[in-house]
Amino acid sequence: MLFCPSDHHIPDTNAFATMAQQGISAACQGAIVTFGVVPSFPSTAYGYIEQGTSNDNISFSVARFIEKPTADKAEELILQGNMLWNAGIFLVQAGTLLTAMEEHAADILQSCRQAMGQATQDQQFVRPEPEAFIACRADSIDYAVLEHHKKMAVVPFSSAWSDVGSWSAVANLCSPDKQGNRIDGQGLAIQSERTYIHAPHRVVVTLGTQDLLVIDTPDALLVVASSHAEQVKTVVAQLEASETPEAGIHRKVARPWGWYDSIDRGERFQVKRIVVKPGSSLSLQKHHHRAEHWIIVSGTAMVTKGTETFLLTENQSTYIPIGEIHRLENPGKTDLEMIEVQSGSYLHEDDIVRLQDNFGRA
């Protein structure tokens, strides 16, 4: 089993595949094999792995894991010459991992076994038993298992790698211009130096800036000095503490049947762009506080409204009064796209009474 974080940037696919293959021998001998990136500078953003003795001139024993260091400590580690960045990627036989879990995190393993032993399935979803899953202790597998396991091995990786863990790391994925500016999207840096602009949705202009990161998204705008890029997590914590909705809710929201994008909203209205995948349907539902207008943009909609069921196609529309039972389905072979205009005194997502749902939602 090869475990890989989903947000890493590794441009050389062949080098990555070779690295994984180099760990197979040690994994087959019962080791949990980690992969360490040969460091190119003294980073404080990564944990480190100290290489021990060589096993087969390919993998090495793990002498110790080191938490993210201070700047001075990071320089000391680099100078030792046997340090690797911990990439968070590891290779292990399933049986080895289960045995290690039994030894070092038996409570987590037991909770998972209970949750999956009583799991239910609807369509493509496997749903662990909720109470057992929620009761499971939350911990990183690094802390819970890997740092305590005796038979660990590490394979060095010398190709390009980034965990894209900060906006500075994201910026480094773009090629700089002569002034060191990096642009992603519709950015324009005028008389600026070492400025990064992330602008996928609209034009963003900087004038006379230096060492700035400007990140424009549909949810929020972030302007941060490059020297403070690693501290963005403190901003998120403050937004969560102040219960700012954007800290946890995106404008575009994925759903089992497709997605919706909240285009605009006011005191008594909200406008959504809704896309339903072929063969999918929303729940049979009603609302106590809002009415809805549906306008079909493309595709075909099967609409249930009260006791009626009918088809709507491009440029057709319907009105769903407050309290009316309704459902939207896509019987076609292409995406169904529509605009929904909600109006009423309360427009939050918890004003949904689901009477029937294909995805097991309450």
User: Does residue 266 contact residue 345 with C-beta atoms inside 8 Å?
Assistant: no
User: Which phi-psi region, left, alpha or beta, contains residue 57 (left: φ > 0; alpha: ψ -120 to 50)?
Assistant: left
CA 58 from chain centre, in angstroms, equals 32
Structure confidence at residue 336 (pLDDT) = 98
Is 322 within the bounds of a domain? yes
| φ, ψ dihedrals at 256, nearest 5° | -60, -30
Structure confidence at residue 123 (pLDDT) = 65
- Residues 29 and 87 grouped into a single domain: yes
Last residue of a domain, one of 115, 137, 157: 157
- Residues 230 and 339 grouped into a single domain: no
Is 246 within the bounds of a domain? no
- Residues 220 and 259 grouped into a single domain: no
Structure confidence at residue 298 (pLDDT) = 97
> Domain tally for the chain?
3
Return per-residue pLDDT of the chain as tens, 362 residues: 999 988 899 999 999 999 999 999 999 999 999 999 999 888 888 899 999 998 777 899 999 999 989 989 999 999 988 999 999 999 999 999 999 999 999 999 999 999 999 998 876 678 899 999 999 999 999 899 998 999 999 999 988 888 887 898 899 889 999 999 999 999 999 999 999 999 999 999 999 999 999 999 988 999 999 999 888 888 888 998 998 888 877 889 999 899 999 999 899 999 999 999 999 999 999 999 999 999 999 999 999 999 999 999 999 999 999 999 999 999 999 999 999 999 999 998 889 999 988 876 66
Is 44 within the bounds of a domain? yes
- Residues 44 and 151 grouped into a single domain: yes
Q: For the domain that residue 45 is a member of, what is the CATH number?
A: 3.90.550.10
User: Does residue 201 contact residue 218 with C-beta atoms inside 8 Å?
Assistant: yes
Domain of residue 347 covers 252-355
Q: Which two tokens stand for residue 250?
A: 């995106």
Whether this model's pTM surpasses 0.85: no
User: Does residue 115 contact residue 107 with C-beta atoms inside 8 Å?
Assistant: no
Residues 129, 218: Cα–Cα separation, whole Å: 35
